[in-house]
Amino acid sequence: MPVFFNDGADDPLQYDLCGTFVGGQVSSVRANLLKQEQYSEAKNMDIDRFGSIITRRGTEIIGATLTNPIQGIGYYDTPTFEKLLAVSDGKVYQSTGGAWAEITGYTPNSSANVEMAQLVDKVYFTDGGNGNVHSLSTSTFTDEGSGGSTDPPKCKFLIAHTGRLIAANTTTSDDEVEASDILDGGTWAAADSFRVGGGEGDPITGIISWYNHNILVFKEHSIHVIDANPATNVGNWAINRIDNTVGCVAHRTIAQAGSDVFFLARDGVRTVRTILAGAQSSVSEPISPPIDDLIDRINWSAADTACAKFWGNRYILAVPLDSSTYPDYVLVFNTVTKTWAGYWVGWTPRAFTVSAFSGVPKLAFGDNSGDVLTWLDYAAELNEVTATFQDNGTDIDSHIITRGLTFGDFFSPKLGNSVEFELSPSGAGCHCAEVRSVVNSKTELVIHAGNIDTRLTGITLPVTLQFTLPTIEPINRAYNMIPTGEFDELQFKVKSSSGKLSLRSIKASAFINSLTIEKTA
């Protein structure tokens, strides 16, 4: 049968637009089914408050690299001092923002997660139930014991809540919860303990202090809420089951955002939320279907190493993918747009915390290499430099792949005409950028391989006339698309090997070959 082709001379010119990127990454479905504001993939990218997609901020190291993966991290804050605490290789270190100094007197198990909780002016440590709970007062450790009737229990999890320490998953029973005396983390009573659930062999996997007096207790296959009213005897605390089919896989993935609590379940990311003005609670359906292709790659045998933090309107979740035995991918959910920004690589977090030196809150995390790093998201946009987009001195490689542009026609083949990219200038600039066309989700063709320099220039006064005004307006770059050839759908891949890629919009045009009767594969 003959095949007829139109030479394009009389083909109608159609347009397509990616005007904003607030729809986030949707990589679990076909690219041409996405909405206009969605995209197929974003590596090391973030969504800003204006709907642009930008290279994420980098990190800087605190002190020097410690010897082994970070087992735990926390921030110790009193009216007289403040310090970061980190545990590595069974040793505890402190820092006031610079070099690390070891604090002797406590040797936690070197292969266990170490959890910390501050009550009044002391920080309490537990190493997964392997050893006794220890308290730190300034720089002195005290073994709180585990054999006496008033000693704290050996436990896997430890939090502070309504003036008490709460221990969960003890060596007595993996579904047990115990409470200390009020404002005294060193004194415990045997009567102030209880089991959550019916002894059905469902161990506690995580715990978090929630709103009002409530404590959320996560188990492998269920979720419970405890009303821990400090005016009520511990033995009379009400325990209610929220869900008996869904559980949490890792304590450190639990993070509160407002009244909602995010966590990683076996089928993806879920939330516990309040309903009926807080009188009742419910568990959401998974909110991660848009990135199920990444969720399906989680190494569930190492999922207990996953960790997360709610920070800056983002649920930042670090998980091990494929064969990794530690978190090597970070999945970022924007709680304002309710969308996934994409995935970040270059980070290997094992635990998160927030420091507040000099009253400036900063996100910090300890990683698998023994580094404690601070995220540079706090730097003012006007102060951005190249190092702002480096991870501890290493350039960040970033890219975005758009949705499949069909130019309003799913059936007819098209011939590209032109594409225009609108980028924002910045002090860090975007260097070594490359633009590719992705034809029919298969073939990548380079349409621009040169440097796109978006560096924001400035003027230092006094200045000699004549002078060139600095670049402050959006930068537009247009390219010919005819060499791309014929396609059914077209995606664009914009990537940068360093600096800040800040993409505002993409406008493209193509000829619709509506007279084609038949086309070959």
Q: Mean pLDDT, to the nearest integer, of 332-355? A: 97
First-to-last C-alpha distance (Å) of the chain: 14
Q: Strand (E) positions, 138-202? A: 140-143, 155-161, 164-170, 176-181, 184-195
Signed CA dihedral, 360, 357, 350, 271: sign only: negative
Nearest-CA neighbor of 268 among 246, 243, 301? 246
Q: How confident is the model at residue 147 (pLDDT cuts 50, 70, 90)?
A: confident
pLDDT at 9 over 70: no
Beta-sheet strand order (sheet of 184-195): 155-161, 164-170, 176-181, 184-195
Q: Which two tokens stand for residue 98?
A: 């610079």
Q: How far apart are CA 288 and CA 175, in angstroms?
A: 28
Which element (helix H / strand E) includes 292? helix 292-295
Q: What is the pLDDT of residue 3?
A: 43
Nearest-CA neighbor of 159 among 190, 115, 193? 115
Q: How far apart are CA 322 and CA 328, in angstroms?
A: 10
pLDDT at 193 over 90: yes
Q: Which fold has domain 13-55+398-512?
A: Jelly Rolls (2.60.120)
| Residue 412 to residues 11, 281, 489, 512, 519, Cα–Cα distance (Å) | 11, 50, 10, 6, 10
Q: How confident is the model at residue 470 (pLDDT cuts 50, 70, 90)?
A: low
pLDDT in tens, 263-321: 999 999 999 987 654 556 789 999 999 999 999 999 999 999 999 999 999 999 999 99
Q: Which two tokens stand for residue 471?
A: 């670049």
Place of tokens 């032109």: 418
Q: Of 213-217, 426-430, 483-487, where does mean pLDDT reach its minimum?
A: 426-430
pLDDT in tens, 118-135: 999 999 999 999 999 999
Angle at 53 between CA 316 and CA 511, to 5 degrees: 135
Q: Of 108-122, 398-412, 438-452, where does mean pLDDT reach its minimum?
A: 438-452
Exposure pattern of 169-193 as b/e (b: 16+ CB <10 Å)?
bbeebbbbbbbbbeeebbbbeeebb
